[in-house]
């Protein structure tokens, strides 16, 4: 079986490389010549733990090209994994790239090809793609399928190789048989394969992301309540999470969710549903609450600074939207840092991987070598992303480097007991403040 993957973004590249690890011949195609040239040299354009090793190990079965037609013409299965960015204005998913890919596939595909949409697409898109292909290539027999991807950045390979489930939307037996074969290596792990309709597969992806975004937002609001009532959100998250109906995952409070998926996908499904006359009010509220939370972070820091940050120095640890990625899309840092700068603060920042990606977006920031360097002369130190390197910092050393003594930990990296007696004011999320 030969697989063509169109689009070498996060999902396309990780999926392509993992399919080659499954033992298939995979050709990854992308219009961007610089990206393809780098991939051909064995360079991975994103920071994703383990991806470079996996790519090197499967070099024999993996190829990269800008010749999309050539890739499609030699494949039995074509995955479309191009971007579906938020459309300006209404926030709905922009399907331009998906539609363009469908037209290219129609011209170049062999009869009998299964065309699989892996991009996150709103309900109805896969069927639309089928219609585009049928119109452009009326004489060719083909199948379409929807196969959304649930991988998380930073643990993408593990998520692809050991998924909780695989969702496959199909309309005919051929597409089902081919996709079952593609995911056959997961049978050993007894991974459930949910075979359903095209529309169900498409909605599942949005429903899953929206549910998780709502779950995070829920615990963030409970954290707010804890802060004014003297509660501890960590205990509450654990206690409710032990109820199997709720589950303990995605109950970590923080600055608000970010990244390339949750913000974009919640907006897209909410905008579509509203247009269709079935507004998803819970999701709309989730979006609004999360945006307000991120927007209010700077005020929280200003309040800790005694009402103004003018002329003060704030150290920010963690710029990426989450650890183990260099991705800064919709990261809280991109909102909070400019707001603090506008209020007159100087920013010293550190991130183990994302500094390069963030630099153009965050002018005026002083980029530091590590956490202690960032802390030099800082009045307040803020932990925004829970990178492992921030989990066991020497508080005495940090305190000595800082000119102030306030640490705001937006990820609850430290236990309250461990922060007592350090001479610092330790402010975290949904827990009491330690001040000694
Ligand atoms: C997400 C989905 O998890 C994945 O299934 C989908 O395919 C793509 O979108 P990703 O964006 O890579 O993956 O990261 P994820 O780990 O889900 O985190 C998203 C955001 O939520 C981050 O900003 C993270 O910090 C935040 N988060 C996550 C919390 O604040 N608390 C949590 O408990 C979990």
Mean pLDDT for each 10-residue chunk of the chain (436 residues)?
96 98 98 96 93 97 97 98 90 92 97 96 95 96 97 95 97 97 92 97 97 98 97 98 98 97 96 96 98 98 98 98 96 98 98 97 98 98 98 97 98 97 97 95
Is any ligand 1 atom within 6 A of the Cβ of residue 259? yes
Gap from CA of 203 to ligand 1 centroid (Å): 18
Q: Is 169 helix (H, G, I), strand (E, B) or coil?
A: strand
pLDDT value at residue 87: 86
Is any ligand 1 atom within 6 A of the Cβ of residue 322? yes
- Among residues 250, 245, 244, which one has the least CA distance to residue 217? 250
Gap from CA of 152 to ligand 1 centroid (Å): 7
Is any ligand 1 atom within 6 A of the Cβ of residue 218? no
Which pTM value belongs to this model? 0.96
Is any ligand 1 atom within 6 A of the Cβ of residue 261? yes
Q: In the numeric block, which tokens belong to residue 174?
A: 């051929």
Gap from CA of 257 to ligand 1 centroid (Å): 7
- Among residues 353, 5, 20, which one has the least CA distance to residue 157? 20
Q: Give the tens place of pLDDT for each residue, 222-255.
A: 999 999 999 999 999 999 999 999 999 999 999 9
Task: Tell me, yes or no, if 18 is annotated catalytic.
Answer: no
Is any ligand 1 atom within 6 A of the Cβ of residue 263? no
Q: Give the tens place of pLDDT for each residue, 247-281.
A: 999 999 999 999 999 999 999 999 999 999 999 99
Gap from CA of 211 to ligand 1 centroid (Å): 11
pLDDT value at residue 317: 98
Of 212, 251, 326, 331, which is best to mutate to test ligand 1, by the most ligand atoms within 8 angstroms of its C-beta?
A: 212
For the range 409-412, what are the long-range contacts, defined as Cβ-Cβ under 8 Å and sequence gap of 24 or more? 409/382, 409/383, 410/254, 410/255, 410/297, 410/332, 410/382, 410/383, 410/384, 411/252, 411/254, 411/255, 411/318, 411/383, 411/384, 411/385, 411/386, 412/233, 412/234, 412/252, 412/253, 412/254
Is any ligand 1 atom within 6 A of the Cβ of residue 19? no
pLDDT value at residue 92: 85
Is any ligand 1 atom within 6 A of the Cβ of residue 425? no
pLDDT value at residue 89: 85
Q: In the numeric block, which tokens belong to residue 112?
A: 């009998």
Q: In the numeric block, which tokens belong to residue 396?
A: 């005495």
Going along the chain from its start, the domains and CATH numbers come out as: 2-196 (3.40.50.720), 206-294 (1.10.1040.10), 296-435 (3.40.50.720)
Q: b/e map of 202-212 (b: 16 or more CB within 10 Å)? A: bbbbbebbbeb
Which positions ≥6 away from 156 have C-beta within 8 Å? 10, 14, 48, 51
Gap from CA of 68 to ligand 1 centroid (Å): 31
Atom of ligand 1 nearest to the CA of 321: 23
Of 162, 165, 238, 322, which is best to mutate to test ligand 1, by the most ligand atoms within 8 angstroms of its C-beta?
A: 322
Q: In the numeric block, which tokens belong to residue 204?
A: 């599942």
pLDDT value at residue 93: 86
Gap from CA of 5 to ligand 1 centroid (Å): 24
Dihedral sign (CA 407, 408, 411, 416): positive
- From CA 312, how far away is CA 344, in angstroms rounded? 7
Of all protein residues, the one whose alpha carbon is nearest to atom 10 of ligand 1 is: 152
pLDDT value at residue 86: 87
Is any ligand 1 atom within 6 A of the Cβ of residue 321? yes
Q: Give the tens place of pLDDT for each residue, 147-188.
A: 999 999 999 999 999 999 999 999 999 999 999 999 999 988
Catalytic residue chosen out of the listed positions 18, 28, 226, 261? 261
- From CA 325, how far away is CA 353, in angstroms rounded? 7
pLDDT value at residue 91: 87
- From CA 286, how far away is CA 230, in angstroms rounded? 25
């Amino acid at each position: 079986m030969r697989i063509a993957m169109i689009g070498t973004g996060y999902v396309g590249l990780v999926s392509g490389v993992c399919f080659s690890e499954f033992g298939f011949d995979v050709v990854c195609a992308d219009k961007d010549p610089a990206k393809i040239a780098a991939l051909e040299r064995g360079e991975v354009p994103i920071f994703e733990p383990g991806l470079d090793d996996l790519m090197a190990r499967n070099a024999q079965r993996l190829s990269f090209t800008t010749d999309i037609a050539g890739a499609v013409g030699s494949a039995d299965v074509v995955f479309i994994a191009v971007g579906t960015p938020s459309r300006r204005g209404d926030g709905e998913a922009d399907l331009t790239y998906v539609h363009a890919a469908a037209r290219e596939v129609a011209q170049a595909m062999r009869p009998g090809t299964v065309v699989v949409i892996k991009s996150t697409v709103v309900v109805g898109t896969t069927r639309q793609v089928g219609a585009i292909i049928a119109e452009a290539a009326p004489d060719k027999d083909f199948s379409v399928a929807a196969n959304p991807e649930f991988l998380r950045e930073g643990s993408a390979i593990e998520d692809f190789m050991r998924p909780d489930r695989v969702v496959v939307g199909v309309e005919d037996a051929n597409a089902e048989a081919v996709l079952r074969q593609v995911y056959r290596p997961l049978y050993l792990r007894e991974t459930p394969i949910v075979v359903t309709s095209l529309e169900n597969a498409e909605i599942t992806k949005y429903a899953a992301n929206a549910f998780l975004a709502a779950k995070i937002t829920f615990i963030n609001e409970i954290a707010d309540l804890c802060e004014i009532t003297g509660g501890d959100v960590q205990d509450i998250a654990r206690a409710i999470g032990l109820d199997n109906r709720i589950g303990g995952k995605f109950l970590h409070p923080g600055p608000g969710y970010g990244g390339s998926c949750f913000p974009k996908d919640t907006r897209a499904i909410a905008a579509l549903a509203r247009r269709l006359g079935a507004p998803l009010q819970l999701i709309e509220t989730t979006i609004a609450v999360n945006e307000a939370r991120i927007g209010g972070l700077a005020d929280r820091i200003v309040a800790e600074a005694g009402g103004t940050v003018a002329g003060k120095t704030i150290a920010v640890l963690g710029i990426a939207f989450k650890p183990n990625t260099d991705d800064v899309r919709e990261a809280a840092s991109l909102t909070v840092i400019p707001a603090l700068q506008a209020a007159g603060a100087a920013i010293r920042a550190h991130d183990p991987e994302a500094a390069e990606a963030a630099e153009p977006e965050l002018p005026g920031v002083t980029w530091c070598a590590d956490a202690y360097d960032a802390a030099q002369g800082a009045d307040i130190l803020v932990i925004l992303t829970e990178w492992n390197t921030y989990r066991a910092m020497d508080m005495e050393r940090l305190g000595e480097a800082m000119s102030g003594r306030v640490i705001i930990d937006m990820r609850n990296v430290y236990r309250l007991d461990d922060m007592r007696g350090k001479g610092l004011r330790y402010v975290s999320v949904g827990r009491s403040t330690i001040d000694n």
